[in-house]
Amino acid sequence: MSESFDIRRWFKNPEELLVISGPCSVETREQLMTTAKGLSEIDKVKVLRGGIWKPRTRPDAFEGIGEEGLRWMKEAKEKYGFLTMTEVAVPDHVNLALKNGIDILWLGARTVANPFSVQELADCLKGCDIPVFVKNPIAPDLKLWLGAFERLGSAGLTCLGGIHRGFSSYDDTRYRNAPVWEIPVELKRLRPDIQIITDVSHICGCRELLQEVAQKALDFGTLGFMIESHCDPEKALTDANQQITPESLKKALNHLVIKKRVVDEDEFVLQNLRKEIDIIDDELLNLLAKRMNVSEKIGEFKKEHKVAVLQMDRWSKVLEDHINKGVNLGLDEESVKDIFEIIHKDSIKKQLY
Ligand code: PEP
Ligand code: MN
């Protein structure tokens, strides 16, 4: 990495894609320095990440190297010119990170799920306007994510970014954490001042999906990436399946098609709103098809039991109820009536033939 990178300027004008990389966990001095050396050969990587304290599900897993690792981060920073970044979960972490010259902090998905923890960190950060990225909480709960920004904002922090790292879900097996793209899009709509980047590693959970998901994130207008890298990924003590070598990262970044530079904030919001509309329209179509299937079954039942297709009393009642509900939701009375008349006509047509 040649010239130094100004993260504060990036927050004000995120024209350039921000690429953050480094190991899930800092394990040894050698592992960190070798990984950092590899990353220093990729111009786009401006920030070195390293997990020093690891939030582990089970107590017997590797819980991070602790303070010693911060000194290696400092050494890598001085040698290669990176900005450094680590996860903080308790005030003690913040104090140690600041003492050791860490430039950027992030709050992890588990921490953001707990407003007490976020408030404690916000109180500890008061008066120290260090850039902080906030990962989305594990559950797909936008309000928790928003709440964390509000707490940190109230503590006087002005460089706040979001990291979209996907959401825990029972039914999506393709990803480690389902992306649910509408949530970061909605965050951007509600808080256009928050710059959002994508942690593709924790969304994917495996190396194979990284390229595809990174491209999709770019298509959704992401302003940067966090991607875990390790000099020997298979031997990593944490998240071994999803880390990649600096060489693979270089290739992956070169393959990305950056379709459009996000320069105009309004244009970014518009693009994302259009994508949101497309997703909703898709859902509407699926629902209509589902409704038509049920309607066909009703038609068969009526035929079998010699019941007339049009039950006028029921139809009048249903239409009236729908109109009332629609009006309560802020929809236009005439439009709701028109929409349901079309849907009903279609159902009757299906049942008659
Ligand atoms: C990490 O970045 O290594 C990490 C623990 O992330 P998350 O909080 O998103 O699970
Ligand atoms: Mn990790």
SS (H, E, C) 224-286: EEEEEECCCHHHCCCCCCCCECHHHHHHHHHHCCCCCCCCCHHHHHHHHHHHHHHHHHHHHHH
Residue 288 has pLDDT above 60, yes or no: yes
With cut-offs at 50, 70 and 90, classify the pLDDT of residue 172: low
270: pLDDT confidence band, cut at 50, 70 and 90?
confident
Question: What's the 294 CA to ligand 1 centre distance in angstroms?
Answer: 43
Query: Which segment of 96-100, 196-200, 275-279, 322-326 scores lowest on mean pLDDT?
Result: 275-279
DSSP letters for 81-97: --EEEEE--SHHHHHHH
Q: Which residues belong to CATH 1.20.59.10 in the chain?
A: 268-352
Contact 154, 147 (CB under 8 A): no
What is residue 125's predicted lDDT score, i.e. its pLDDT? 98
Distance 70 CA to ligand 1 centre (A): 17
Rounded distance between C-alpha atoms, residue 299 and residue 353, angstroms: 9
pLDDT over threshold 90, residue 33: yes
Label residue 32 by pLDDT band (50, 70, 90). very high
Decide: 122 and 88 in contact? Cβ < 8 Å. no
Of 10, 244, 27, residue with least CA distance to 104: 10
Q: What is the pLDDT of residues 36-69, one digit of tens each?
A: 999 999 999 999 999 999 998 888 899 999 999 9
pTM of the entire predicted model? 0.76
Superfamily (CATH) of domain 268-352: Chorismate mutase (1.20.59.10)
Token pair for residue 92? 């003690």
pLDDT over 90 percentage in the chain: 80
pLDDT score of 261 more than 60: no
> Cα separation of 257 and 250, whole Å?
14
Q: What does the pLDDT read at residue 268?
A: 77
Please state which of the ranges 97-106, 142-151, 273-282 shows the lowest mean pLDDT. Answer: 273-282
Look at residue 263 and tell me whether its pLDDT is greater than 70: no
**2 pLDDT above the threshold of 50:** no
Number of CB atoms found within 10 A of residue 207's CB: 16
Tell whether ligand 1 has an atom less than 6 A from the beta carbon of residue 221: no
For the Cβ of 24 lying below 6 angstroms from any atom of ligand 1, the answer is yes
Residue 65, classed as helix, strand or coil, is coil
State whether the beta carbon of 176 lies less than 6 angstroms from ligand 1.
no
The pLDDT value given to residue 259: 65
Whether the pLDDT of residue 21 is over 60: the answer is yes
Task: Summarize the confidence of residues 249-270 as an average pLDDT.
Answer: 80
Stretch 239-256: mean pLDDT: 98
Q: Which of 169, 223, 219, 179 is nearest to 201 (CA)?
A: 179
Buried b / exposed e across 61-92, counting CB within 10 Å, b at 16+? eebbbeeebbebbeebbeebebbbbbbbbeee
Mean pLDDT of 260-264: 58
CATH 3.20.20.70 residue window(s) in the chain: 7-254
Distance 174 CA to ligand 2 centre (A): 18
In this prediction, residue 173 carries a pLDDT of: 76
Q: Which atom of ligand 1 is nearest to the CA of 49?
A: 2
Which ligand sits nearest to residue 238's alpha carbon?
2
- Region 171-176: mean pLDDT is 84
Q: Is the CB of 233 under 6 A from ligand 1?
A: no
Q: What is the mean pLDDT of residues 344-348?
A: 87
Contact 262, 317 (CB under 8 A): no
- Average pLDDT rounded to a whole number, residues 122-145: 97
Among candidate residues 2, 39, 27, the one with its CA nearest the CA of residue 249: 39
Percentage of residues in the chain with pLDDT exceeding 70?
Answer: 96
Which residue has tokens 């009236």?
A: 320
100 forms beta bridges with none
Average pLDDT over all residues of the chain: 93
**Ligand 1 mean position, distance from CA 98 (Å):** 20
Closest CA to 196 of 246, 167, 162: 162
Whole-angstrom Cα distance, residue 150 to residue 18? 23
Task: State pLDDT tens for residues 83-95.
Answer: 999 999 999 999 9
- 49, 286, 288, 326 from 283: Cα distances, Å: 38, 5, 9, 18
Q: What is the DSSP letter of 167?
A: B
Whether the pLDDT of residue 264 is over 70: the answer is: no
Just give the CATH number of 7-254. 3.20.20.70
